[in-house]
Amino acid sequence: MRDLIKNKIFLVVGAVIALALTAAPGAWADAKTGLPKTMVWSCYDVGASGYMQASAIADAFGKKFGLRIRLLPSGTSIGRLMPLTANRVACGFLANEVYFAAEGLYDFATVEWGPQDLRVVLAHPSTIALATTKDSGVKELKDLKGKRVSYIPGAPTLNVKMDAFLAFAGLSWNDVKRVEFPSYGAACKALIEGKTDASVVSASSSIMYELETSARGLYWPQFRPDDKAAWKRMNKVAPFLAPFQETIGAGISKEKPAWLPEYRYPMITVYADKDPQWVYDMAKAMDETFDLYKGAHKVMPLWSIKKSGIPPADAPFHKGAIRYLKEKGVWTAEAEAWNNERIAHMKKLQAAWEKALEEKVAKKIKEKAFSEFWLKIRAEAVGD
């Protein structure tokens, strides 16, 4: 399955990223860490919290070990996962595209993709939010009705959260004005420029601090945990979200907290067949450089392995990471049980996928109709 994807991906992205990837995962290993002396990581685009975090960690790797890290940013889920699938980056600092790709949902419910056998190295606890402006008139989620709402084609990790946020308010896309933007960064800038009224964002991204001091101002609608009906509607769309009282972000503090949905972002992600020793060395390097990058931003202390090295996450943890986490006394019996359950779940999905591909050929199902066909088989396999 990955070979099919690779062949298509090389044609699409090869010319674009060739220069940036000349010293990707196969570079000579560093004697101190066992990691390649030069690596490339895919991540969110410039201005996003994920880019800032990957950049801070890359800088720490350079200072402590002399490693050279290049970041390959992209504003879409497909754009961040493609290079990882094609083995053109060492790892990805990814968001909920990990969940969608592992589950074979949304943009990944196609013949070219299907459920991907992904694994997590470490998963940074984070929150997601809906940013609006003080002049938008949006004070509560229900106020989105009739407003301009950002949509990013090819970015299910953002769009599905917006689906969920609308569901929280008892709304759908039919109740708002959908405005399309090419990337996460563009949707954030559009708030400042007055081109949209609401975008899915990370509260701690640099551009949110810029919006806070802009003429339009920044406002955070709350996702209060006592609204059980709203949370039930939202979790039906996005089961990986949970209520959390955030104290870090633009316009947010311990004195002025905000109730936001919690999830994991970014997650250092690889495929299950990634060399376990590389994953072990990566987890170890993250731990050993922690003191260098933990002060780069208020969210960086959450990379502590005691926080980022335990479930849940959007995919199972890699066995190489688990070996290091066990050595450090972080991995528990509960974590092991969760991981084993997720791996068993993914095996069910992958078996269902092979069945779907076989029936596609036998029944001569066209590619346009295959996604719907696959989702029915998937639902039967996992009992949805």
Beta strands in 1-117 (DSSP E): 38-44, 68-74, 91-94
With respect to residue 338, please indicate whether it lies within any of the assigned structural domains: no
d(CA 377, CA 365): 14
The pLDDT of residue 10 is 44
Q: Is 159 exposed, middle or buried (0-12, 13-18, 19+ CB in 10 A)?
A: buried
With respect to residue 87, please indicate whether it lies within any of the assigned structural domains: yes
Residue 366: both structure tokens together:
């066209």
Residues 134, 113 share a domain: no
Among 254, 185, 260, smallest CA distance to 220 is for 260
Give the structural domain span for 58: 2-124+266-330
Residues 372, 294 share a domain: no
With respect to residue 32, please indicate whether it lies within any of the assigned structural domains: yes
As a dihedral over the C-alpha atoms of residue 276, residue 277, residue 278, residue 284, rounded to 10 degrees, the angle is 110
Residues 39, 104 share a domain: yes
With respect to residue 256, please indicate whether it lies within any of the assigned structural domains: no
Q: Is the peptide bond before 266 cis (omega within 30 degrees of 0)?
A: yes
The pLDDT of residue 384 is 65
Residues 302, 283 share a domain: yes
d(CA 39, CA 32): 15
Residue 264: both structure tokens together:
């994991």
CATH number of domain containing 10:
3.40.190.10
Q: How far is CA 30 from CA 12, 27, 55, 84, 327, in A?
A: 32, 9, 20, 22, 22
With respect to residue 247, please indicate whether it lies within any of the assigned structural domains: no
With respect to residue 155, please indicate whether it lies within any of the assigned structural domains: yes
The separation between the first and the last C-alpha atoms of the chain, rounded to the nearest angstrom, is 24
Residues 86, 6 share a domain: yes
Category of 87 on φ-ψ map: left (φ > 0), alpha (ψ -120 to 50) or beta: left
Residues 171, 281 share a domain: no
Beta strands in 32-189 (DSSP E): 38-44, 68-74, 91-94, 118-127, 129-132, 148-151, 177-180
With respect to residue 36, please indicate whether it lies within any of the assigned structural domains: yes
d(CA 331, CA 280): 14
Residues 119, 8 share a domain: yes
Q: What is the tally of structural domains in the chain?
A: 3
Residues 354, 294 share a domain: no
Residues 362, 314 share a domain: no
pLDDT 10s per residue in the chain (384 long)? 555 554 444 444 443 444 344 344 445 677 778 999 999 999 999 988 899 999 999 999 999 999 999 999 998 889 999 999 999 999 999 998 999 999 999 889 999 999 999 999 999 998 999 999 999 999 999 999 999 999 999 788 889 999 999 999 999 999 999 999 999 999 999 999 999 999 999 898 889 999 999 999 999 999 999 999 999 999 888 888 889 999 999 999 999 999 999 999 999 999 999 999 999 999 999 999 999 999 999 899 999 999 999 998 999 999 999 999 999 999 999 999 999 999 999 999 999 999 999 999 998 998 889 999 999 999 999 876
With respect to residue 260, please indicate whether it lies within any of the assigned structural domains: no
d(CA 170, CA 298): 33
Residues 119, 9 share a domain: yes
Residues 32, 118 share a domain: yes
